[in-house]
Amino acid sequence: MTADHSILSKPAGGKLAVGRFSLRAGSISDHILAGIPTIWLTVFFLAPLGFTVVFSFGRSTFGGVELGFTLNNYATALSGFYGAAFLRTLLFAATASGLCLLVAFPVAYFIARHTSRFRLLAITLVLIPYFSSFLIRVMSLTMLMSREGLLEKVLNTLHLHAGPLDLLDTQTAVFIGIVYAYLPIAVVPLVVVLDRIPKALTEASRDLGATRWETFLLVTLPLSRPGIATAIMLTAVPMLGEMVIPKLLGGSRGVLMGQALSSQYLQSQNYPLGSAMAVLVLLGVAVIVGLLAWITKGFAEVGR
Amino acid sequence: MTRILCSNGSSLTRRSMLGLLGAAPAAASLTSIGLGASRAWAATGQLNIYSWPDYFSTADLDAYAKKTGVTPNISTYDSDDTMFAKVNSPAGSGFDIVIPGSSWIKQLAAKGLLEEIDHSKLDLGSLDPHLLNRDYDPGNKYSIPKDWGLLGVIYNPEAVGGEIKTWEDFFQAGEKPGVSGKIRMSDSGWETIGPELWLEGKDWNTVGEADIRKAAERLKSFAKHVKSFSGLDVNSLANGAIVLAQTNQAKARAAIGLNPKLKWVVPGPMSELWVDNYVLIKDAPNLEQAYDFLAFQLRPEIQLAETEYIGFPAPLAGLREKLGADVKDADLIFGGKDVDFSKLTSFVVNPETVGFYSQLQTEIQAAAG
């Protein structure tokens, strides 16, 4: 996403004047078209977000909020246990997103380079799991990984494991589940960016004496930065709020921010503290997005 | 709360959505605009119920529809917390009947969200007195029991190597090799910390922060033995992935159906009795219809049918004897043959302490990671 922005930034600058010019003559329908999403976002995103920010400075009245200005909620949300949970969540998202990228890159590379006529089919195959509900996909993993499940039978048959397999409700199961669930959304941006790298550049690199590995490391990888950044963003950001997979596959052990946050809202009925945590998670997301945007800055000059 | 024990994964979407949006109350107040408006048009001949999913026998609902021409609109929730959050928001005003657990009734009433029940319109005479006039609602001013359940323990005697009679036995068995790492505990703070409080001779409804924290310390060090705090999958008990678990009697009955070697116990010195109750929402739009529906639900033959359908006992006195001989493990529906109601206590949410219970539960689960 960021990548597209930076790629387009130059030509868009020139077109902007044209756009403004045509705006005067622009039909009312254009305004309506633009207005619908604006109103939608204002009502269903900005307004609740505003409430959340306002609540985060208030005092809890058990299932209610007394508006005011206190930083106590933020102090609690950042102190001791919750601070540690927040850091653990960041680490979790970084690790899981990194794993996802590691698996997704070879898949994307293969699709971009070796599927020419069957590319659409390959991408469709990657995306097919998305046609079923997220929850159903994760639930079916519990069946695969449980005792007497398919995975246990396969591993036992191949003599890679003996006896009952206790994979479910472990951290390993959580990482398997999360990589599986987020893999498709990491693959797609990588395919797009790898596909765009001109073949001439890699050929030139080989002609100038670089090995295949050097070519990959010095040409392909740097040029795929915006795809990597987008893939990280699309996976790491939702992982920061992830709570379904740790609950279904990890036995709800080693609490992450998403669980801590929802328990403040629901079990403790402490909306201000929950709001403060939500704002902090949002800030975390903003920092990640900012960093990724910064990493891909100036890509337009490199790529074209 | 307890139903989180038995609810499966389907309960997660809504909670996670709320968490992710981070703006549950705001979102709720927005949706309420819509509900509030529809309320003005609500004619009689309607009934809006907010309940656990699949909590009414479909045959009984059909019978009621045939008799009165009214098919109740049932919206569902997945935890008492979610229920409270919604009923406590303007979005709750469209409902007539809600089925909160015993722990939340006092808070719902304190917030002025409940309609006082007119006892001249309903006869509670046929109900089990053990389930009436309990401390969460003296005199049943706001609530009528619908069904009830217990916090108990299901275990595999071979793996545990003995009988479990008390919560102390539970904790000690949990540390044994072969049991450690194969334990399931509740995701509710008061259900994990409560057993230790009972062992210390304390009342979970009256203890203060210091006592709750102290009891939670034992759970934090015990947490390393726990495999899961998520909903209990009865198959994991059948195949031995879990050998010791806190759960309710209905789950235990299902697990024993799969593996008859398993044993169920309601440990001493105390354990939990939760009661799900019908309550009427303040200024309910279809109050008369609601009374009519409750009277229908309280009929003995309906209570019997509901019990067989949902697997939790209705409050009808002498229900056990009336249950058909073909019902498998019928005693287990009632928590076993020798349940002693004097050794059962119902949790009552107290705004002063419930935050500690849930915060400490989060810490216990984190300690298990």
A247–B361 C-beta distance less than 8 A: no
Two tokens, residue A52: 């959340």
B368–A169 C-beta distance less than 8 A: no
User: B142 and B267 share a domain?
Assistant: no
Residue A64 has pLDDT above 50, yes or no: yes
Confidence of residue B334 (pLDDT cuts 50, 70, 90): very high
User: B60 and B10 share a domain?
Assistant: yes
pLDDT at site A117: 84
- Please give the ipTM for the structure prediction: 0.81
| B207: in domain | yes
Mean of pLDDT values over B121-141: 94
Measure B39 CA to nearest chain A CA, in Å.
Answer: 22
| B340: in domain | no
pLDDT at site A10: 39
User: B80 and B183 share a domain?
Assistant: no
User: B141 and B55 share a domain?
Assistant: yes
Q: Is B113 on the interface with A (CB under 8 A)?
A: no
Chain B residues within an 8 Å CB radius of A58: none
Domains: count for chain B: 2
Chain A residues within an 8 Å CB radius of B19: 241, 243, 258-259, 261-262, 265
Mean of pLDDT values over A13-23: 43
Question: Measured between CB atoms, which of A63, A135, A270 is closest to B84?
Answer: A63
Mean of pLDDT values over B7-16: 34
pLDDT tens by residue, A131-146: 889 889 999 999 999 9
Q: DSSP characters for B149-200?
A: EE-EEEE-HHHHTS---BHHHHHHHHTSTTTTT-EE--SSHHHHHHHHHHHT
CB pairs under 8 A between A and B: 175
* Domain extent at residue B209: 150-272+348-368
pLDDT at site A300: 53
Chain A residues within an 8 Å CB radius of B351: 62, 269
User: B282 and B363 share a domain?
Assistant: no
pLDDT at site B50: 97
Those of residues 9-68 in B touching chain A at CB distance below 8 A are 9-10, 12-13, 15-16, 18-27, 30
Confidence of residue A289 (pLDDT cuts 50, 70, 90): confident
Question: At a CB cut-off of 8 Å and minimum separation 6, what does A166 contact?
Answer: A147, B181, B241
pLDDT tens by residue, B192-244: 999 999 999 999 999 999 999 999 999 999 999 999 999 999 999 999 999 99
Alpha helices in chain A (DSSP H): 2-25, 28-41, 47-55, 72-78, 80-114, 119-127, 134-145, 150-157, 171-196, 199-207, 212-215, 221-223, 225-240, 244-249, 257-265, 271-295, 299-303
What is the enclosing helix (H) or strand (E) of B148?
Answer: strand B143-150
pLDDT at site B369: 83
B21–A147 C-beta distance less than 8 A: no
Q: Which residue has the higher pLDDT, A225 or B141?
A: B141
Mean of pLDDT values over A213-224: 92
Two tokens, residue A41: 């976002």
- What's the whole-model pTM score? 0.84
Mean of pLDDT values over B115-134: 94
CA–CA distance, A178 with A244 (Å, rounded to integer): 10
CA–CA distance, A110 with A105 (Å, rounded to integer): 8
| B107: in domain | yes
| B220: in domain | yes
Q: Is B359 on the interface with A (CB under 8 A)?
A: yes
Q: Which residue has the higher pLDDT, A260 or A298?
A: A260
Measure A279 CA to nearest chain B CA, in Å.
Answer: 8
C-alpha triplet A207, A210, A212: angle, nearest 5°: 100
Burial class (CB in 10 A: 0-12, 13-18, 19+), A98: middle
Burial class (CB in 10 A: 0-12, 13-18, 19+), A87: exposed
Measure B20 CA to nearest chain A CA, in Å.
Answer: 6
User: B49 and B36 share a domain?
Assistant: yes
Chain B residues within an 8 Å CB radius of A264: 358
pLDDT at site B319: 93
pLDDT at site A69: 93
Residue A185 has pLDDT above 70, yes or no: yes
Chain B: residue nearest A280 by CA? B22
Q: Is B187 on the interface with A (CB under 8 A)?
A: yes
Confidence of residue B328 (pLDDT cuts 50, 70, 90): confident
Mean of pLDDT values over B276-294: 95
Q: What single DSSP character describes residue B26?
A: H
Residue B6 has pLDDT above 80, yes or no: no
User: B187 and B91 share a domain?
Assistant: no
| B171: in domain | yes
pLDDT at site B238: 92
Those of residues 230-289 in B touching chain A at CB distance below 8 A are 230, 233, 235-236, 239-241
User: B357 and B279 share a domain?
Assistant: no
Residue B301 has pLDDT above 50, yes or no: yes
Highest mean pLDDT among A65-69, A199-203, A277-281, B189-193: B189-193
Residue A234 has pLDDT above 60, yes or no: yes
- Is the Cβ–Cβ distance between B26 and A47 less than 8 Å? yes
- For B79, other C-beta atoms within 10 Å of its C-beta total 22
Measure A146 CA to nearest chain B CA, in Å.
Answer: 8
| B339: in domain | no
Burial class (CB in 10 A: 0-12, 13-18, 19+), A75: exposed
SS3 category, B273: strand
Mean of pLDDT values over A164-189: 93
| CA nearest to A92, candidates A230, A288, A240 | A240
Chain A residues within an 8 Å CB radius of B230: 169, 247-248, 251-252
Those of residues 80-109 in B touching chain A at CB distance below 8 A are 81-82, 84-85, 88, 107
CA–CA distance, B352 with B205 (Å, rounded to integer): 11
| B357: in domain | yes
User: B193 and B234 share a domain?
Assistant: yes
Residue B41 has pLDDT above 50, yes or no: no
| CA nearest to B84, candidates A266, A108, A177, A162 | A266
What is the enclosing helix (H) or strand (E) of A65?
Answer: strand A65-66
Chain A residues within an 8 Å CB radius of B187: 252
Question: At a CB cut-off of 8 Å and minimum separation 6, what does B259 contact?
Answer: B156, B237, B238
Residue B69 has pLDDT above 60, yes or no: yes
Dihedral sign (CA A183, A185, A188, A189): negative
User: B264 and B296 share a domain?
Assistant: no
The chain-wide mean pLDDT, for chain B, equals 88
Question: Measured between CB atoms, which of A44, A241, A271 is closest to B20?
Answer: A241
| CA nearest to B173, candidates B108, B225, B209 | B225
- Is the Cβ–Cβ distance between B272 and B151 less than 8 Å? yes
Two tokens, residue A136: 């159903």
User: B291 and B309 share a domain?
Assistant: yes
User: B240 and B137 share a domain?
Assistant: no
CA–CA distance, A148 with A146 (Å, rounded to integer): 6
Mean of pLDDT values over A177-204: 92
pLDDT at site A188: 93
pLDDT at site B44: 57
Q: Which residue has the higher pLDDT, A302 or A198?
A: A198
The chain-wide mean pLDDT, for chain A, equals 85
What percent of chain B has a predicted confidence (pLDDT) above 70? 88
Chain B interface disruption, residue of A72, A169, A243, A257, most B CBs within 10 A: A169
pLDDT at site A79: 84
| B328: in domain | yes
Domains and their CATH numbers in chain A: 2-303 (1.10.3720.10)
For the domain that residue B184 is a member of, what is the CATH number? 3.40.190.10
